[in-house]
Structure 1
Amino acid sequence: MAELPIWDTLVFILYLLLILGFGVSFSFRKRTAKDFTTGGGRLPAWAIGMSIFATFVSSISFLALPGNAYLSNWNGFVFSLSIPLAAWIAVRYFVPHYRSISSDSAYFYLEERFGPWARIYASTCYLLTQLARMGAILYLLALPMHFLFGWSIAWVIAMTGLIVVIYAMLGGIEAVVWTDAIQGLILIGGAIICLGMIFWKIPGGASKLFEVADANEKFSLGSFDWDFGSSTFWMILVYGLFINLQNFGIDQSYVQRYITAKSVQDAKRSTWLGSLLYIPVSALFFFIGTALFAYYQTQPQNIPEDIQADSVFPHFIVSELPIGLTGLLIASLFAAGMSTLSTSINSSATVILSDHVKKYLRPSLSSKTDLKVLRLSSLVMGLLAILVGLAFNGVRSALDAWWALASIFSGGVLGLFLLGFIVRKTISRQAVFAVIAGVLAIGWMSLPAILALAGKEASWEQPLHSNMTIVMGTLAIFVVGFVLSSIFGRGNNS
């Protein structure tokens, strides 16, 4: 177990203090609830694009992508190859749609199409998903720090969570977007520096790296068989397309950024920038994992035998980088997690105000009270995320737990949105039956994974890969809704 040198510790602490101070500085401006949720619609496209990129990247990506490439190959990179098509659909249809409606909420449209139940269902699914996501990010961020330095997992979760809560609660969406932009740049710069150091340090240089990687098929994108029961190229591609359509189409974190832009064209540019930037950056992280595999194959004495794949990259940062640079790279690891956390906190607070408090509890709130509700909601969601992160401590696989929870909490909401957006004659009653079918499909596919996490075994074997849960849930809602509306027509929408 290593000890972080004093200079690296100072660099890391200085980074955290600077980010905190920068984020909090936005609270001193005259603010309204609209400023908190949309930044007054005056944010530049490049900053919003960097924020969208930072929302894609998290501590899960920072640790899991190099770890995945180190352990196996580039099969997971196929997820990124689905982004251009999803982004084109978003820019062509979703961005103009959300810019045209008079609401900060991604779920306002569902109420217009199917009634209040659809808005409550979708927004509740979103809030539950964000809590699970934030908890997983906080825990996965703390895990390598505990392994490498002996830092308390609970302390890292609480410290990181509270810093993000403070600036997200006080600074609003402007603080989130601008800190995301800074942290995104630090993250990219840190990754490039790391890759350069691996090239410099590996005996034999780049040629040796590629020789070892090629001999072990580390650049493989996976099997091209039409098999959706295992992690093939086509399964990951389909899964990625549905996940990214869900992100761009119905995720408040993304939809809210469309509204912060100055114009529809700026919103489209920011969407293209944020989504397409993730492709080369994710490739960079996969390449780091492959390079680390080659590096430690040539120098196996430099890595502990029992190290987890997700801790290999942090281990290299701590053990191989010069003093001072290590602190900056650890800061970039935290930047990946903090940027996603701040986005989730701000968008969740917006959902709580727009979809629940102002809609059902206190419709006539003043603008000043709106702002208080947003800040209180940010605080509550942040504190709950810390508790969820602590609850993750001790699970057999945090990533498996996150994937299982995300599949369940997604609730097939993408299918409901597409049903309303594409099949214009579907009515509320038909949509209800479609959602029930989708929830049953999700439950049937998720239960074996949930039982496995609890150490039990299901009485049936699930034929599809667990990643296909969101695909089947979405398709079940859309297909059942389409069939019902085709058979019974519009009928009486009651």
Structure 2
Amino acid sequence: MNLPIIDLVVFLSYMLAIVLFGASFYFKKRSSEDFITGGGKLPSWAIGMSIFATFVSSISFLALPGNAYLSNWNGFVFSLSIPIAAILAVKFFVPLYRGIKSPSAYYYLETRFGAWARTYASICYLLTQLARMGAIMYLLALPMNVLFGWSIPVIIVITGISVLIYAIMGGFEAVIWTDAIQGIILISGAVACLGIIFFSMPEGPGQVFAIASAHNKFSLGSFGFSFSEATFWVILIYGLFINLQNFGVDQNYVQRYLSAKTDKEAVKSTLLGSLLYVPVSLLFFFIGTALFAYYQALPDLLPVEFRGSEQADKVFPYFIVNGLPVGMTGLLIASIFAAGMSTISTSINSSATIILTDHFKKYLSPDLPEKAEMKVLVIASLVMGFLSIVIAIAFNGVTSALDAWWALSAIFSGGILGLFLLGFIGKNIRQKYAAIGVVLGVLLIGWMSLSPVILEEGATFRSPFHANLTIVFGTLVIFLVGFLLSALANRKKAR
């Protein structure tokens, strides 16, 4: 399928413009602090848009409409947990990290449990980011390959190098401003797309609601209390834990807290970015539901090969190419790439920060000169960027890249939130009991993540729980084991 020349020009112009804009920050005077936090002088609205863009990835742009097209709005329950997590973040986490004034999210863990906790968490974070960037680049390339026949490795390499150029040359300031622009383009493109679907219905916009209601498309899922199904409560609790992890221990977010001018500005940007995702995710679910109604009303417009349940994620890209006016298609494809590029650029910058602060300066050269710090940041960015490209290409041919990413992220990152909450809430927690809690929690996370992949349905040792509960149970085990063992030891010592 060939992309019309006008759409190709729109898309390529966007890619070139965003790379040049991001790279232009190279010509401003920069220090390592500027590279990491933008000098702590960025406006709250831009930081907020960047937080929003970090929430949204190409996975969200393609998977949320696909999910709504295939089933209902059960996945939107995840977004309903964000306001709760955001309120906790601005009350506790933002003041905590701005008070510590360390560019590393994991320095706090060292103050509570020692150097091992910081090193453990930072390594887990780096592994998570590699898996995340690889999965996003691969999932970004997949629909482009299906729709246009573009080579998956070529798309991955071009996307990865484009992001690397402006992330390295422009530093954190480039990441924030390009994220802000990409967030605006993403929202604009999605709103325009929904409007076109609505007014393309044979009987007008009301037909979308009629068809969707008849097929129960607005359902938020079962309100039962099963632990093995994606009920309303399972998704809500999962969302709460994931978002507490994002706000509490994710370097991507902590750097944004530090980039604001004042504590008040940091709070405003956090609330803006997180709460904006709620209506925008609703918009994506609405697009999926509207597409279902559109192709129910006009079934001849959807080819047979796109009608299977396993093709749901490709229906939205198909509509973008075939259902939008010329020029708009190029903008929407740019929006998909914008979602992926903003997430990748954030991960590259924050990973380089962690390599410098938590590993290089801590273990190799504590008194590093300013120029040497910048050199380490650039080299670390290049290494993480090229490794993520390799991992993205390695994803090519995997049965389900999304499932693989979820399993890897659960194992790599599942233990960090429990350790953070143990240090933040618990008092007089002993290091060795925190470590025991982490070991047991990670073992549980590994069992819940891998046993469904390795063992057949009905096998004795196969986890009966829904995959979304992995981080919930893993976090609770780490927290409770560390807390209870420390409490027993403290009581025994007091006697």
- The TM-score normalised by the length of structure 1 is 0.97
Query: After superposition, what is the alpha-carbon deviation per residue over 1:329-352, rounded to whole angstroms, capped at 9, x for unaligned?
Result: 110110010000100110001000
Counterpart-to-counterpart distance in 2, 1:34 and 1:490: 45
Matched, 1:435 2:438: yes
Gap runs ≥5 in structure 2: none
Query: After superposition, what is the alpha-carbon deviation per residue over 1:423-459, rounded to whole angstroms, capped at 9, x for unaligned?
Result: 021021111111111111111211224427xx99965
The aligned amino acid for 2:37 is: T
2:384 alignment partner, SS class: helix
Matches within 5 A, 1:134-149: 134-149=133-148
Matches within 5 A, 1:397-476: 397-451=400-454, 459-476=460-477
Query: After superposition, what is the alpha-carbon deviation per residue over 1:1-23, rounded to whole angstroms, capped at 9, x for unaligned?
Result: x2101111011000000000000
Give every structure 1 segment of 4 or more consecutive aligned residues whose post-TM-superposition deviation is greater than 3 Å: 455-459
Q: Is the 8 A contact 2:452 2:463 kept in 1?
A: no
Q: Is the 8 A contact 2:42 2:261 kept in 1?
A: yes
Q: Which moved more, 1:183-192 or 1:355-364?
A: 355-364
Matched, 1:367 2:366: no
Report the counterpart of residue 156 of structure 2 in structure 1: 157
Counterpart-to-counterpart distance in 2, 1:225 and 1:257: 38
Matched, 1:389 2:381: no
**Identical residues among aligned pairs (%):** 66
Matches within 5 A, 1:69-468: 69-307=68-306, 308-451=311-454, 459-468=460-469
Q: Is the 8 A contact 1:437 1:476 kept in 2?
A: yes
1:489 alignment partner, SS class: helix
**Alpha carbons of 1:490 and 1:317: their partners in 2 closer, same or farther (altered >3 Å)?**
farther
**Alpha carbons of 1:157 and 1:90: their partners in 2 closer, same or farther (altered >3 Å)?**
same
Q: Is the 8 A contact 1:243 1:470 kept in 2?
A: yes
Counterpart-to-counterpart distance in 2, 1:491 and 1:187: 58
Matched, 1:52 2:56: no
Query: How many pairs were matched up?
Result: 489
The aligned amino acid for 1:386 is: I
Residue 102 of structure 1: how far off its partner (Å): 2.8
The aligned amino acid for 1:194 is: C
Query: After superposition, what is the alpha-carbon deviation per residue over 1:340-384, rounded to whole angstroms, capped at 9, x for unaligned?
Result: 010011000100000000110121211111011111111111111
Residue 411 of structure 1: how far off its partner (Å): 3.6
- The TM-score normalised by the length of structure 2 is 0.97
Query: After superposition, what is the alpha-carbon deviation per residue over 1:132-191, rounded to whole angstroms, capped at 9, x for unaligned?
Result: 111110011001000100000111111111100111011111000000000000000000
Counterpart-to-counterpart distance in 2, 1:448 and 1:395: 18
The aligned amino acid for 1:249 is: G
Report the counterpart of residue 481 of structure 1 in structure 2: 482
Q: Is the 8 A contact 1:451 1:457 kept in 2?
A: no
2:305 alignment partner, SS class: coil
Query: After superposition, what is the alpha-carbon deviation per residue over 1:201-241, rounded to whole angstroms, capped at 9, x for unaligned?
Result: 11111111111100100000000001121100000000000
Query: After superposition, what is the alpha-carbon deviation per residue over 1:40-76, rounded to whole angstroms, capped at 9, x for unaligned?
Result: 1000000000000000000000000000000000000
2:227 alignment partner, SS class: coil
The aligned amino acid for 2:442 is: V
Counterpart-to-counterpart distance in 1, 2:30 and 2:465: 49
Q: Which moved more, 1:440-449 or 1:119-128?
A: 440-449
Report the counterpart of residue 11 of structure 2 in structure 1: 12
Matches within 5 A, 1:32-71: 32-71=31-70
The aligned amino acid for 2:466 is: H
1:341 alignment partner, SS class: helix
Residue 299 of structure 1: how far off its partner (Å): 1.3
Gap runs ≥5 in structure 1: none
Residue 98 of structure 1: how far off its partner (Å): 0.2
**Alpha carbons of 1:447 and 1:457: their partners in 2 closer, same or farther (altered >3 Å)?**
farther
Report the counterpart of residue 24 of structure 1 in structure 2: 23
